[in-house]
Amino acid sequence: MKKTTAVRLAGTAVAFAGIWSLWSQGQRQPLTMEKVSANMYVIIGNGGNVAVLPTTEGVIVVDDKFAQDAPEILAKVKSVTDKPVRYVLNTHQHGDHTGGNEALLAAGADILIQKNARANMVTNKQPGLPPITFGDEAQVFLGGKEVQAHYLGRGHTNGDAVMYFPSERVLHTGDLFVNGGAPFIDGANGGSIKEWDKTIAKALQYDFDTVIPGHGPVAKKADLQKWVQTIASLRAHVKTACAGGPAEAVKRLDLSDLGMKSSPMFERGIPGMCQELSQ
C-alpha cells in the first residue's frame, strides 16, 4: 500500500470514529432496563445495548455506551444487585460501546476486547483502552456463571465479537446485528460487506433463544437467521448500485424491500463497500 493511501485510510478511520460518536449522541434517548432471562438484563437507549449479568460474586457487563452514560449504567446495575461490576466485555471499539470504559476501569472492573478492536482504538486515539485482549475466544467465570467471547470474522469492523451466555441461552451480537435499521459497514476499521453474513452464520451454531442486538429491541434466534439473508441481499443491492460509482450509489440505493431506511452512517459506509465489491 502506498504511503499516501495508508495516511488517507488512517484519517478516514479517525473521522468515522468521530462521526459515529457525534451522530449517536445527537440521537440521545433515556436509558431503560428490562429482563431478558431469569437472571439477566439489558440496558437500552443512547448508544449500544448493554447486557448485565449479576452473580453472587459480582456483575458481568457487555459494552458501556458513551462516557456520560456510565453513572446511569452503574445506578441501574445497583438497582438489581449490591455487587460491583467485575468484568466488562466490549463487542467492538466504537465509542457508543466503549465510552464508559474509563469510568468502569476507575471503578475496578477488568475490561476485555478482541485484539483487532483494541488496535483500532489505539489508531483512533480512543480513551478507555481495555487492558486485556483475546484472539479467537475468551471465557469469563464468575459466581458460577460463564460468559464466552467469540471472534468469528469480519463484519461491522474487523474486531467484532459475539458474547454468549450459556446458562441464560442469550447471545449479544454487538453491531454485527442491528434490529430495525440499516447496518454500518466500517471499512476504515476493517469492516466487510463480503464476509459479514458468513460471520453471522457462524454465530448461529450456539445454543441460544434470545439475541441482544447492538442497537434496537431484543430479538430471537429466528431474527438473527433472517439477518444472514438480509445482509446477503443488501450486498447484492449495493453491488448493483455501485456500478455507477459511490456518489451515484447513494442516490440509487433503495432498501425498502429489505424493510430498511438508509441513514447517514449507512451512507458513509457506501464508498468502502463499493471499493470492496469491485475487487
Is the predicted pLDDT of residue 19 greater than 50, yes or no? no
User: pTM for the complete prediction?
Assistant: 0.90
Is the predicted pLDDT of residue 145 greater than 70, yes or no? yes
By the 8 A CB rule, do 151 and 114 touch? yes
pLDDT value at position 219?
98
How many CA atoms within 13 Å lie on the side-chain side of 144? 5
Between 260 and 145, residue with greater pLDDT:
145
Residue 262 φ/ψ, nearest 5 degrees: -65, 165
pLDDT value at position 28?
66
What percentage of the chain has pLDDT greater than the value 90?
82
pLDDT digits (tens, 9 = 90+) for 205-258: 999 999 999 999 999 999 999 999 999 999 999 999 999 898 889 888 889 999
* Cα–Cα–Cα angle for 181, 29, 94, rounded to 5 degrees: 60
What span, in angstroms and rounded, lies between the C-alpha atoms of 138 and 69?
26
User: How large is the average pLDDT for residues 260-269?
Assistant: 90
pLDDT value at position 240?
94
User: How large is the average pLDDT for residues 2-27?
Assistant: 42
By the 8 A CB rule, do 152 and 162 touch? yes
Is the predicted pLDDT of residue 24 greater than 50, yes or no? no
How many CA atoms within 13 Å lie on the side-chain side of 224? 31
Going along the chain from its start, the domains and CATH numbers come out as 3-223 (3.60.15.10)
The C-alpha cell at 32 is 431503560
Least confident of 61-70, 122-131, 200-209, 239-248: 239-248
Neighbours of 46 (CB within 10 A): 19
**Number of helical (H) and strand (E) elements in the chain, helices listed first:** 10, 13
pLDDT value at position 27?
56
Is the predicted pLDDT of residue 11 greater than 80, yes or no? no
pLDDT value at position 198?
98
| Average pLDDT score, the chain | 91
Please spell the DSSP secondary structure of 150-207, one letter per residue: EE---SSSSS-EEEEETTTTEEEEEEEEETTS-----GGGT--TTTHHHHHHHHTTS-
Is the predicted pLDDT of residue 175 greater than 70, yes or no? yes
Q: Which helix (H) or strand (E) holds 110?
A: strand 110-114
Q: Quick one: DSSP state of residue 67?
A: G
Is the predicted pLDDT of residue 13 greater than 80, yes or no? no
What span, in angstroms and rounded, lies between the C-alpha atoms of 20 and 117?
15
